[in-house]
């Protein structure tokens, strides 16, 4: 039986070099031209059948015989975020205002290393492996739906994905059956009042005060209208109004997010937001716009596949833990909506290496030694699924 952790360790330095190259040249969602070309260059000398520009900017690489046994897909994302890299490291981003602040560079380095191992051990294949390199995960509508629509999952039996996670200790493996990550909806609200002089508020309809009333009222939706055992979050990330201290503006705007696992809870919150605005409109003679955008589906792991991940980690003598239920979103959910499979986290947080910063922080980094744990877990999953 192949020692996949040893195999991954032997490729660790090359994998780190790949990750650091990608980290220095990040590209935002749906703009990943050079990253796409780099992945193709790394794959072209391997024995894969390659489809490029899948969906929009995705790559699907297949090795093995789909008729010989099961076909398992593994996915990595490769887009970056509009964040200025503030780390003082040699591999700091060279692209102003763009940064791999979520670990997608590591995900891509991991899957390229899996590709090399599959190429080197293709004589052991009893089925086929499909590697999905996905663009645009960070920005809705995401890349998963486009790739699925363009047959990225054609002939695939199950699908697995991974995320390096700075909130978990380096090398630990985490997953859970059923709900794991939430649906991240977005909303944008504009209140239309009547502006005027700050010294004469009685002659105005104060859009700022009404928006403040709305924001405070929404905090009762979760705490007082939902069953306490149901999980939900309503958060505001942006408020904008006015240009001067002595002018009450005509309009006030806010943007925020709703996070849920249950479609009925999501609909309940959306209805309550609308009713709050309707009530404020009647009481204050305002009008409003509500733009509510449904986010990615919640991530629901299939029980048998989550058990495969757990068995893989335990067989490799890694530290396995059940994952926390998280309110973050991931468009890997669409793959799991189409096929059985599971998503799991690999811990990459290490305070001694300053890799415990939160995701999307300008100081975010990964403990690169964590990548070999994902590589070997992926390979062990393929083994347990009967592909190797």
Task: Give the residue numbers marked as catalytic.
Answer: 79, 137
Specify whether the CB–CB gap between 156 and 71 falls below 8 A: yes
CA distances from residue 6 to 3, 117, 129, 320, 387 in whole angstroms, order as listed:
5, 11, 21, 19, 19
Measuring CA to CA, which residue among 333, 340, 328, 362 is closest to residue 165? 328
Measure the CA–CA gap between 173 and 176, rounded to whole angstroms. 10
Print the SS3 string covering 40-69. HHHHCCCCCEEEEEECCCEEEEEEECCCCC
For residue 152, the tally of other CB atoms under 10 A from its CB is: 26
Find out whether 102 is annotated in a ligand binding site.
yes
DSSP code of residue 99: B
The two tokens of residue 316 are 């490799």
The two tokens of residue 260 are 């849920």
Find out whether 27 is annotated in a ligand binding site.
no
Find out whether 138 is annotated in a ligand binding site.
yes
* 345: exposed, middle or buried (Cβ count in 10 Å: 0-12, 13-18, 19+): buried
Measuring CA to CA, which residue among 138, 152, 75 is closest to residue 111? 75
Measure the CA–CA gap between 62 and 72, rounded to whole angstroms. 10
Specify whether the CB–CB gap between 20 and 89 falls below 8 A: no
Q: Give me the numbers of helices (H) and strands (E) for the chain, helices first please.
A: 10, 16
* Adjacent-strand bridge partners of 132: 60, 75
Find out whether 163 is annotated in a ligand binding site.
yes
Strand ranges (E), 99-242: 128-134, 158-169, 173-175, 178-181, 183-192, 196-197, 232-241
For residue 38, what is the enclosing H or E element?
helix 33-43
Measure the CA–CA gap between 172 and 373, rounded to whole angstroms. 8
Binding-site residues from annotation = 102, 104, 138, 163, 360
Binding-site residues from annotation for Mn(2+) = 102, 104, 138, 163, 360
């Amino acid at each position: 039986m192949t020692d996949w952790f040893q195999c991954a360790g032997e490729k660790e330095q090359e994998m780190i070099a790949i990750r650091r190259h990608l980290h220095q040249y990040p590209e935002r969602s749906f703009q990943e031209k050079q990253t796409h070309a780099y992945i193709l260059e790394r794959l072209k000398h391997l024995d894969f059948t390659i489809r490029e520009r899948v969906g929009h900017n995705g790559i699907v690489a297949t090795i093995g015989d789909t008729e010989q046994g099961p076909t398992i897909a593994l996915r990595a994302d490769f887009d970056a975020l509009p964040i200025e890299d503030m780390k003082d490291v040699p591999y700091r981003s060279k692209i102003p205002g763009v940064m791999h602040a979520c670990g997608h560079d590591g995900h891509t380095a991991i899957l390229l290393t899996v590709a090399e191992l599959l190429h080197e051990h293709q004589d052991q294949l009893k089925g086929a492996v499909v590697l999905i390199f996905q663009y645009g995960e960070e920005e809705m509508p995401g890349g998963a739906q486009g790739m699925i629509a363009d047959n990225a999952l054609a002939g695939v039996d199950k699908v697995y994905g991974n995320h390096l996670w700075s909130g978990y200790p380096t090398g630990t493996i985490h997953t859970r059956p059923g709900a794991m990550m939430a649906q991240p909806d977005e909303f944008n609200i504009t209140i239309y009042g009547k502006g005027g002089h700050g010294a004469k508020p009685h002659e105005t309809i104060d859009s700022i005060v009404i928006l403040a009333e709305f924001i405070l009222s929404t905090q009762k939706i979760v705490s007082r209208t939902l069953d306490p055992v149901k999980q939900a979050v309503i958060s505001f990330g942006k408020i904008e109004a006015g240009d001067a201290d002595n002018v009450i503006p005509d309009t006030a705007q806010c943007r925020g997010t709703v996070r849920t696992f249950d479609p009925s809870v999501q609909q309940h919150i959306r209805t309550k937001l609308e009713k709050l605005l309707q009530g404020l409109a009647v009481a204050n003679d305002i009008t409003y716009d509500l733009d509510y955008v449904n986010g990615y589906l919640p991530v629901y792991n299939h029980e048998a596949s989550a058990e495969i991940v757990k068995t893989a980690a335990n067989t490799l003598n890694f530290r396995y833990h059940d994952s926390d239920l998280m309110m973050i979103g991931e468009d890997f959910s669409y793959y799991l909506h189409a096929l059985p499979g599971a998503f799991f986290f690999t811990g990459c947080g290490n305070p001694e290496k300053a890799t415990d910063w939160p995701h999307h922080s300008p100081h975010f980094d990964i403990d690169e030694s964590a990548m070999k744990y994902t590589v070997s877990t992926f390979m062990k999953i393929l083994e347990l699924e009967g592909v190797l």
